[in-house]
Amino acid sequence: MRTEDWEMLAELYRTENITQAAQRLFLSQPTLTSRLKKMETYYDVQLIIRKQRGITFTPEGEQLALHAQKMLYEQRRIEEQLHNMKDQFAGTIRVGVSNFFALNKMPKLLRLFKQSYPDVEFQVVTGWSSEMHRLILNHDVHIGFIKGDYIWNENKHLLYEEEICIASPWDFQWEDLPHLPRIDYHTDEKMRSIVDQWWYSTYKQNPNINIQVNQVETCKEMVINGLGYAVIANLVVRPHTDLFIKPIHLPSGESVTRKTWMYYHEETLKLNIVKAFVQFIETLDVKAL
């Protein structure tokens, strides 16, 4: 089978949705369906079962999809080894980046790095930190830029620590927060747990959430426009000096913070370009960028 077929099968297994897989692979849905039928004919087995929403893999299909993931991993590994044997700083670094970091830090980091290593390319995947943690665990990326403390037994480098704060368009008293309009946003479980632990250790009432949005950047814009306050990481709102920003503390007086890390596997440092990028990041004051 061709590499393209393994990529198609692995993407289908990842998304469990033909439309999404086709979009991510830049294929039309009929083209993907046709290639899938050819694979089923070739192996003489049914690979997927269509559901009302999405698909599910048959046992045979799941076995082949796992094999596809393995084949793609081995293909990437041999390509990386061949690039490395040339003793050149060229090739592709795969990076998994949390959403805020991707928007506010990553473009500057890549621009600075490519000034010294113009032949290095980057494949960047963005999402919640929990998703990026899974990618680095599975060796789907070389490096993960992740907010929060996740289980990790290999190399990591602390990039910065930031306070969690209340950002409000108007001045406020702490005791008034349960009665004031709050804007909430979807985030990963780690951040949600941090905020909920602080709130319910401080207040008996539920927060007065009157607006819920999908992204932290949308939440910030709602606050800027005077629609309510938000419990949010400091770096998100730091540039907006017209807002009232106060760090939150637990009843013990301990400040509530969240760390941002660079995670990577020791074995990836054998690749010249990955080692150069890691060393480059470690020399920077990433928080100040």
Q: What is the pLDDT along the chain (289 residues), one digit of tens a residue?
A: 788 888 899 999 988 999 989 888 888 999 999 999 999 999 999 999 988 888 999 999 999 999 988 888 888 777 777 766 565 667 889 999 999 999 999 999 999 999 989 989 999 999 999 999 999 998 999 999 999 999 999 999 999 999 999 999 999 999 999 999 999 999 988 999 999 999 999 999 999 999 999 999 999 999 999 999 999 999 999 999 999 999 999 988 999 999 999 999 999 998 888 999 999 999 999 999 8
- In the structure encoding, which two tokens stand for residue 163, read together? 């306070």
What is this structure's pTM? 0.70
Query: Are 274 and 142 within 8 A, CB to CB?
Result: yes
Contacting residues for 149 by C-beta, under 8 A, at least 6 apart: 190, 259, 261
Residue 100 backbone zone (phi > 0: left; psi -120 to 50: alpha; other: beta): alpha
Contacting residues for 53 by C-beta, under 8 A, at least 6 apart: 17
Rounded CA separation 129/148 (Å): 8
DSSP state of 206: P
